[in-house]
Amino acid sequence: MSSISEARILIMATDGFEQSELQVPLEKLRAAGARVDVAAPEGASEIKGWLDKNWGAKVPVDLEIAAAEVEDYDALVLPGGQMNPDVLRMNDDAIALIQEFIDAGKVVAAICHAPWLLVEADAVDGKTITSWPSIRTDVENAGGEWVDQEVVIDDGLITSRSPKDLDAFVAAIIEQVEAGLALDEDAKA
């Protein structure tokens, strides 16, 4: 039986991520036994969160985005906040990595404003997506169907609206990663 404890998960972020949207998945996925790495743009040894209208805690960075290899991971998690995805959607390495995860059929989970990254990676056309309400038009203009739900799963894409949805978001990541690991096991058998 496949378990999240067999999984490797990558969280991609930069300064200005919503503190809870990185910290909660990082802590809960690690507590469930997954190996979780944090990737950030070149040169960052740590990144700063955003918490209650001010800078939050720093998180150590394990590797640069450009050094991340999709085959080393079972899922990609994209925290939101306004600044973080807005900066990352202008980073060619970040967008290429998202596209590689999607092309490989791996789980990609985005919360809050992070679906901006899915829009930039041309990954929402024909998909049902949720997000922070202010980017609804961006999702719809990119061909996605926007819905107001705590978590939406559509063909390997997991999306949620805000920090209040983190429990459902992390549960969906665990469920989808375990399902993917089980499929991999079946394919090898």
Mention every residue, 6+ apart, whose C-beta is less than 8 A from residue 93: 41, 42, 64, 65, 66
Which tokens belong to 122?
């041309």
Q: Are 165 and 111 in contact (CB under 8 A)?
A: yes
CA distance 111 to 48: 18
Q: Which of 164, 156, 181, 133 is nearest to 4 (CA)?
A: 181
| 189 has catalytic annotation | no
List the catalytic residue out of 113, 162, 169, 172: 113
Show which residues are catalytic: 113
